[in-house]
Structure 1
């Protein structure tokens, strides 16, 4: 629509210029014709006059038009081969016409330039207005997203507070009951010792839960900075297995380590150890006694792959996408029987993804879970493969 309007205005402008030029030319033609007639009238008047004096000359130019005198002047023009079209008057008229055409052309050109500049400025203004409109719409959409995110975060905060309250309520109630019984004279010393131990266990559970929540809140609030450094994949797996070997032995669970080749990885030593430990600790916690957990390290082109494979019951397909949620604990009875805060896998996923890796879960055959996570390798020339 804008291009059509611009073309129409251009055509109209050119038509106006052509009409003005045509009007000038027609007026010139009329003036030249009238001048020619006046000259012929004067010559005819001079020829028919009895005497030629000043009064006769003035009368010849000022007298009314007479067809006979005009015809006489035209006859004399033909007779003596004289042309009034070559007189100075006609040349002056031609020069006047040329100047008028030149002035008109320059004026039209200037007007055309002014119109073109105005049109260009109008297009620039329209483009800027369109850009501002798009930016406004983009800001509007962004603000809508931010508002929606804020509402979601507010709802998430409420949910987190509810989850924390729910998570803390049970052990606190159990601790309160245990301490009341342990301090009561209505029970035997042996019974009070048992409840005292139960209360101590609840305190350990609360301490574990609060420690997990503190780490989680610090990581989410970016109070903890991930500082990747280059260190050995074998060192990482060794640190993780060493920290949890006693828990595995207490359940008569064997941990097998399979590292095909060693290589330097780029990760935060402390927090990556925390992430892998959370996965291995879950495997120990939910694996039956007298089973084997395999921790395998494989070098891929750009990443190190760590797999933690157990022989437990595994995780149902319905829960595969839920296990990484904050405070989520499975519905299986074996899961609910074990103590836990429900933030281990969430924390592990967040740590691994913060460093450019991924974490996923696959089924083992014939049963069990296989948690796989990737960690970037150090690929420069100074960090080559480590020889065993």
Structure 2
């Protein structure tokens, strides 16, 4: 039987069998002999047999428990990031077969992690190279567009085409910048310089960048909340995250609509909420809004490139936070970024 491949289990059964044999011989001897108080001796031998079996089982299960505790410790170390751990499986038996499979799984996961790391590095390097190569032609196209704009003052049709061309060049530049940012986050090459920032002031500065656009589109921007809330974060990346949410709201609101930013603090979290009363998100799109390049079939937005929300999600998660969305079609959308406040023990 496979179970007896483990020498410890085999020895346990042999020991129990030996105790049973000895007890049987003693019992036969006591039954056939004319010893006074034989029943007492029989009871004593029965108790001794039971204690011997219990002792053998106890020793066996203590050893098994020690082996399992060591295996659990190795697995926890692996989960904590130590990729060099390995469970001792130099014995035979079903338990050691399990340990061998766990070691094989660890090897496969390590190989996949190495491949993923290489893929991310390749992606980052490729996007970096492409974005670098695009800078020169983009700069040249912007110059040519500026020249055409100056020459088209007396021709409204050409001026309109020049304006459209400028918008498309801006879109390409934003796309390249966002791709580069996401690839940097994915590759793990970004070192976040986290310092304590006043969240209200941070959000106020971001809103200031969108005031001109909001005024041109006749939309209202507002900020509310506690002015003394602080959060340990990377200044530039947090501005990027908030900016993307506000831009998304501006892209999906109409003339006369409003975008409200609220800063709140609870016992253990800081929240930054960006809420609008715009078109809302269709139920079909809700599971996919944080996927890269996702475009809804219901969307009338022709300017979005589908990278703002995924980039925001990556930034929030890099700060050990979460992002939630609540939206009702035709009523509005609310994005909530949650950041844990480290507790002092």
- TM-score, normalising length: structure 2: 0.62
Match of 2:38 in 1: none
Of the three residues 246, 270, 273, the one matched with 1:280 is: 246
Greater Rg by CA: 1
CA shift in 2, pair 1:142/1:128, >3 Å: closer
Match of 2:306 in 1: 342
Unaligned runs of 5+ in 2: 5-9, 27-58, 68-87, 149-153
Match of 1:83 in 2: none
State the alpha-carbon separation in 1 of the partners of residues 234 and 330 from structure 2: 35
State the alpha-carbon separation in 1 of the partners of residues 169 and 252 from structure 2: 22
State the alpha-carbon separation in 2 of the partners of residues 251 and 329 from structure 1: 23
Match of 1:134 in 2: 98
State the alpha-carbon separation in 2 of the partners of residues 364 and 246 from structure 1: 28
State the alpha-carbon separation in 1 of the partners of residues 321 and 172 from structure 2: 31
Q: CA deviation at 1:203?
A: 1.4
Match of 2:230 in 1: 264
Q: CA deviation at 1:260?
A: 3.7
Q: CA deviation at 1:240?
A: 1.5
1:48-77 superposed Cα distances (whole Å, 9 cap, x missing partner): xxxxxxxxxxxxxxxxxxxxxxxxxxxxxx
Q: Does 1:237 align with 2:226?
A: no
**Contact 2:270 2:339 survives alignment (8 Å):** yes
Q: Does 1:359 align with 2:323?
A: yes
State the alpha-carbon separation in 2 of the partners of residues 136 and 378 from structure 1: 39
Match of 2:190 in 1: 224
Match of 1:302 in 2: 268
Query: How big is the alpha-carbon RMSD for the aligned residues of Structure 1 and Structure 2?
Result: 3.9
Of the three residues 11, 17, 28, the one matched with 1:8 is: 17
**Contact 1:358 1:374 survives alignment (8 Å):** yes
Q: CA deviation at 1:236?
A: 1.6
Q: CA deviation at 1:345?
A: 0.7
Matched length: 252
CA shift in 2, pair 1:379/1:266, >3 Å: farther
CA shift in 2, pair 1:140/1:195, >3 Å: same
CA shift in 2, pair 1:192/1:332, >3 Å: same
**Contact 1:212 1:341 survives alignment (8 Å):** no
**Contact 2:260 2:276 survives alignment (8 Å):** yes
Q: Does 1:373 align with 2:337?
A: yes
**Contact 2:214 2:221 survives alignment (8 Å):** yes
Unaligned runs of 5+ in 1: 19-115, 183-187, 382-388
**Contact 2:217 2:255 survives alignment (8 Å):** yes
**Contact 1:233 1:264 survives alignment (8 Å):** yes
CA shift in 2, pair 1:380/1:145, >3 Å: closer
Match of 2:30 in 1: none
- TM-score, normalising length: structure 1: 0.55
**Contact 1:313 1:367 survives alignment (8 Å):** yes
